């Protein structure tokens, strides 16, 4: 009698273990890294990617997506090494990254998923209408300190920058300032809204914000590059590539990515995913 009781207990335990294994196995089909789709990379894109993930999971309750930052290079490395399914990147893969993937037998697919445009703003009373990329670099590194040096009236320039943990701060430093350090006189602001408010109320200020903040109350400057005519920031000029302070945003995946990874990327490129870009002051691929 006692033997039969233990046989029953063992059989029940085996049945529960089999059920748990089946459930785990079903969860593991959603991504290459396990039951949850892992997205890693660009800090510039991390908030955007998190909103994409949240909205996608609302529409697809079975989906599980985790988003982390760490930088474009970190995400690309993780995707190549198989610890992330998708890599967010605010730049194209470098030659050495492509070579690393190839050496490991990894075929990589590039997905262009959006555009990043940054407007340079001043007070409406400031007579300056445009600046070159070189002038912007010299202003934000502290080489140019007075408005009279760039065609404005006499007066010290008040520099407004995002805080150093901001992806926009890093983008502006890399793309406009050739990776030089910001002037120690720059005031570090916690948000684009804070830069907008300070510029609206300070006739000596200059700052940079997402396109959504280049609105009534401030003046967005035209920007020129390499001697070409200055171009004003807009969704259209960012989409056309004529506005200099802009760049494409990418997601990288393996060519044999999981079904969920492919479906998530397709959703991002679709109408709903592209609408999220505008909500966070990025620019969709098409008008």
Domains of the chain (ranges plus CATH)? Answer: 2-115+248-279 (3.40.190.10), 117-240 (3.40.190.10)
For residue range 139-168, list pLDDT tens digits in order: 999 999 999 999 999 999 999 999 887 778
DSSP three-state, residue 193: helix
For residue range 70-82, list pLDDT tens digits in order: 889 999 999 999 9
Measured CA angle at 276 (ends 34, 216), to 5 deg = 150
For residue range 216-265, list pLDDT tens digits in order: 899 999 999 999 999 999 989 998 989 999 989 999 999 999 999 999 99
For residue range 175-198, list pLDDT tens digits in order: 999 999 999 999 999 888 899 999
24 pLDDT band (50/70/90 cuts)? very low
Q: What local confidence, expressed as pLDDT, does residue 9 receive?
A: 39
- 126: its two tokens: 């400031």
For β-strands 108-122 and 246-254, DSSP reports them as antiparallel
């Amino acid at each position: 009698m006692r033997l039969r009781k233990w046989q029953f207990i063992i059989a029940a335990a085996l049945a529960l273990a089999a059920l748990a294994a089946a459930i785990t196995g079903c969860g593991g089909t959603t991504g290459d890294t396990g039951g949850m789709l892992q997205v890693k990379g660009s800090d510039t894109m991390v908030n955007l990617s998190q909103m994409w993930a949240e909205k996608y999971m609302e529409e697809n309750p079975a989906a599980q997506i985790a988003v982390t930052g760490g930088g474009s290079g970190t995400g690309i490395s993780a995707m190549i090494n198989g610890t992330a399914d998708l890599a967010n990147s605010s730049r194209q893969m470098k030659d050495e990254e492509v070579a690393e993937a190839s050496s490991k037998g990894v075929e990589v697919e590039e997905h262009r998923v959006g555009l990043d445009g940054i407007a340079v703003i001043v007070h409406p009373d400031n007579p300056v209408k445009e600046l070159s990329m070189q002038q912007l670099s010299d202003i934000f590194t502290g080489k140019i300190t007075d408005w009279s040096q760039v065609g404005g009236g006499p007066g010290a320039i008040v520099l407004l920058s995002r805080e150093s943990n901001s992806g926009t701060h890093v983008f502006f430093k890399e793309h406009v300032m050739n990776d030089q350090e910001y002037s120690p006189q720059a005031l570090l602001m916690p948000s684009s809204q804070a830069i907008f408010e300070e510029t609206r109320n300070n006739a000596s200020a200059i700052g940079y914000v997402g396109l959504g903040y280049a609105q009534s109350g401030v003046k967005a400057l035209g920007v020129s590059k390499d001697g070409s005519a200055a171009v004003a920031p807009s969704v259209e000029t960012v989409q056309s590539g004529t506005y200099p302070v802009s760049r494409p945003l990418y997601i990288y995946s393996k060519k044999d990515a999981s079904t969920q990874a492919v479906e998530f990327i397709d959703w991002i490129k679709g109408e709903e995913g592209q609408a999220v870009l505008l909500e966070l002051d990025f620019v969709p691929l098409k008008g």
